Amino acid sequence: MKRVFLFLLTNLAVIVLLDIVCTVLGVNRFLTPRGLDVQMLLVFAAIFGFGGSFISLLLSKVIAKWSTGARVISTPQTPLESWLVQTVHALAQRANLKAPEVAIYEGAPNAFATGAFRNSALVAVSTGLLESMNRDEVEAVLGHEMSHIANGDMVTLGLLQGVVNTFVIFLSNLIAWAIDNALRRDSDEGGGLGQIGYFVTRIVLEMSFGLVGSMIVMWYSRQREFRADAGSARLLGSGRPMISALTRLGSLSGEALPQHIEAMGIASGKGMFSLFASHPPLEDRIRALQQAAAH
Residues with a known catalytic role: 145
Q: Chain centroid to CA 233: how far? A: 23
- CA–CA gap between residue 155 and residue 276 (Å, rounded): 20
Q: Chain centroid to CA 46: how far? A: 19
Helix (H) or strand (E) holding 174: helix 153-186
Q: What is the number of residues in the chain? A: 295
CB count within 10 Å of CB 78 equals: 9
Contacts of 203 (CB under 8 A, 6+ apart): 16, 19, 172
- CA–CA gap between residue 262 and residue 275 (Å, rounded): 17
The DSSP bridge partners found for residue 36 are 31
Q: CA torsion angle for 237, 240, 245, 246 (degrees, to 10)? A: 110
Contacts of 40 (CB under 8 A, 6+ apart): 29, 30
SS3 73: coil
